[in-house]
Amino acid sequence: MKKRALKISINDNIAVALDSLLAGERVNLYSIESQLIDKLTAAEDITYLHKIAVQKIPVNEAIIKYGEVVGYSCKNISAGELVHTSNMASKPQKNPG
Amino acid sequence: MTLYGYVRNDDKVGFRNKVLLLPAVDCVNDITYKIAQSFDDVSTFRFSTGCGMLPDDVEHIMHTQVNIAANPNIAAIVIVGMGCESINTEDLYERIKLLNKPCALVKLHSEGGYSNYIRKIRDLTNTYVEDISKYRREEVPISSINLGLECGASDPASGISANVVLGKAVDNIIDLGGTAIFSETPEAIGTEKILAKRCSDKHVADKIVNIITGYEKMIKTKTGKDIRSANPVPGNIKAGITTLEEKSMGCVLKGGSTKIQEVLNYAEQPSKKGLIFMNTPGFDAYSLCGLIAGGTQIIVFTTGKGTPCGTPISPVIKVISNTIAYNQQKDITDYNAGMLLDGEKNLEQITGELMQLIIDTANGKETKAELLGVNVMDIWPLNGTF
């Protein structure tokens, strides 16, 4: 069965992995209404319930989950990458690296 | 979905029909507990204060006690006191009488001895149980529901299954004219700006921001620690939660998407319908008690790992976030929202099933916590006892 990720709100730029993903695996992206809305490729290994970028997110851009801002990117993030403590923080960075 | 409840003298609707043995002080806990256990439909709770308290705390506790007695699931009240406690039991009795429910006060020091005291409490309880057993349910609208919302022993799936489903069910109930109260202020820290945008007007928005920021300051004053540096905890991060805002959003999600109509202090009763926020701690016994004093007849409790939590006054429906935990915790869990993540059922089906479970529970279906007799409830004191 194809691996799955859940995009909770239509405005989100991340999804939550509903299966543990391996780098290079194809992932079906579902809406909260269980509709298949897109497909993407995991750029790295992503653990169950961790976040995967569903689009390119430039540095210091809002991370949207539940349709709300829950943090900011502190690096440029590509679609399919893990979004977690290495590239996301509560506040925008003053000197983005 | 037809709903049947007990319409009280104040037109509020109860979905349980119980006598409350209301402890005025912790010294009587064993007495009220043992007597309550010997009857069906008699409630009490372990009350940890009531004496050695400052005047503002006494007033706060009495206000909460009156509102617990006012919960529509309660049909009659026996106040059980000593006669020497900080709580003024005569004043408490006068205030509870105004609720227009059968009520009585029994004090150890006024009954000429312990055995007389026990006999009097038992006899009164027995009389009230017989009296209220004559009350009958009648058809009531969905708008009579005041649903309490709670979460505990959460996991990262809580924020994407159980709380999403509960949020949808809450939206449904509010669309039909009902009320829902969410609480647990410390778990809303980090979402104050998001919640302020969702308030019905500026006054409500200012109040929610003040309560949440005030709570954050209170933690800092008492502990010297910044809660934002301690949260999310390492376990949350390992599980995939990155920021406090993300963690808190997953929690407040259970309130659904409608506007917040009113913000209440602890144990206050709402004056409006719709979505309501109440200031309570995250500690379940205190927050559940606040919701009950706020008049919630049914509580839905979302969890990730499972919890036995229940209250003696309002049935607590436990909704778990994932199937692995559900299979382990079936004995204490009423519904598995993890089916959403398994792809077994869609959001609409699961929301419909949870709605039906809320209605069935209101109509008398016993929750797992009721079947097990779980009793988690206590009044949050301002300063405690000295």
CB contact under 8 A, A84 and B346: no
pLDDT below 50 — which residues of chain A?
A: none
Domain assignment present for residue A97? The answer is no
Please report the pLDDT score of residue B220 as a whole number: 93
Q: How far off is chain B from A46, nearest CA to CA, in Å?
A: 10
CB contact under 8 A, A70 and B249: yes
Domain assignment present for residue A50? The answer is yes
For residue A81, give the CATH number of its domain. Answer: 2.30.130.110
Please report the pLDDT score of residue A95 as a whole number: 67
- How many domains is chain A partitioned into structurally? 1
Domain assignment present for residue A16? The answer is yes
Domain that holds residue A74: 3-89
Identify residues of B whose CB sits under 8 angstroms from chain A CBs: 156-157, 159-160, 164, 190-191, 194, 228, 237, 239-240, 242-246, 249-250, 253, 340-341, 343, 346-348
B243 vs A18, A66, A70: nearest CB: A70
Q: How far off is chain A from B248, nearest CA to CA, in Å?
A: 9
Q: How far off is chain A from B246, nearest CA to CA, in Å?
A: 5
Residues of chain A positioned with their CB less than 8 A from the CB of B340: 34
Residues of chain A positioned with their CB less than 8 A from the CB of B253: 66
Please report the pLDDT score of residue B152 as a whole number: 86
Minimal-distance CA residue of chain B relative to A83: B242
Domain assignment present for residue A22? The answer is yes
B243 vs A4, A49, A71: nearest CB: A71
A85 vs B164, B237, B347: nearest CB: B237
Whether chain B has a CB inside 8 Å of the CB on A50: the answer is: yes
CB contact under 8 A, B156 and A49: yes
Beta partners for B316?
Answer: B299
CB contact under 8 A, A71 and B250: no
Domain assignment present for residue A96? The answer is no
Distance CA A57, CA A61 (A): 6
Residues of chain B positioned with their CB less than 8 A from the CB of A88: 242-243
Distance CA A27, CA A14 (A): 13
Question: A86 to each of A79, A97, B243, how far by Cα in Å?
Answer: 15, 12, 12
User: pLDDT of chain B along its 386 residues, tens only?
Assistant: 899 999 999 999 999 999 999 999 999 999 999 999 999 999 999 999 999 999 999 999 999 999 999 999 999 999 999 999 999 999 999 999 999 999 999 999 999 999 999 999 999 999 999 999 999 999 999 999 999 999 988 888 999 999 999 999 999 999 999 999 999 999 899 899 999 999 999 999 999 999 999 999 999 999 998 888 878 888 889 889 999 999 899 988 999 999 999 999 999 999 999 999 999 999 999 999 999 999 999 999 999 989 999 999 999 999 999 999 999 999 999 999 999 999 889 999 999 999 999 999 999 999 999 999 999 999 999 988 99
Minimal-distance CA residue of chain A relative to B246: A70
Whether chain B has a CB inside 8 Å of the CB on A10: the answer is: no
What ipTM, to 2 d.p.? 0.96
Domain assignment present for residue A79? The answer is yes
Q: How are beta strands A51-53 and A62-65 bridged, if at all? A: unpaired
CB contact under 8 A, A49 and B157: yes
CB contact under 8 A, B164 and A88: no
Best of B233, B243, B249, B324 to substitute, by most chain A Cβ atoms within 10 angstroms, is B243
Q: Is-cis flag, bond preceding B232, omega within 30?
A: yes
Minimal-distance CA residue of chain B relative to A85: B242
Residue B161, C-beta contacts closer than 8 angstroms, at least 6 positions apart? B321, B322, B337, B338, B340, B341
Please report the pLDDT score of residue B231 as a whole number: 81
Whether chain B has a CB inside 8 Å of the CB on A47: the answer is: yes
* SS3 letters across chain B: CCEEEEECCCCCEECCCEEEEEECCHHHHHHHHHHHHCCCCEECCCCCCCCCCCHHHHHHHHHHHHHHHHCCCEEEEEEEECCCCCCCHHHHHHHHHCCCCCEEEEEHHHCCCHHHHHHHHHHHHHHHHHHHCCCCCEEECHHHCEEEEEECCCCCCCCCCHHHHHHHHHHHHHHCCCEEEECCHHHHCCCHHHHHHCECCHHHHHHHHHHHHHHHHHHHHHHCCCHHHHCCCHHHHHCCCCCHHHHHHHHHHHHCCCCEEEEECCCCCCCCCEEEEECCCCCHHHHHHHHHHCCCCEEEEEECCCCCCCCCCCCEEEEECCHHHHHHCHHHCCEECCHHHHCCCCHHHHHHHHHHHHHHHHCCCCCHHHHHCCCCCCCCCCCCCC
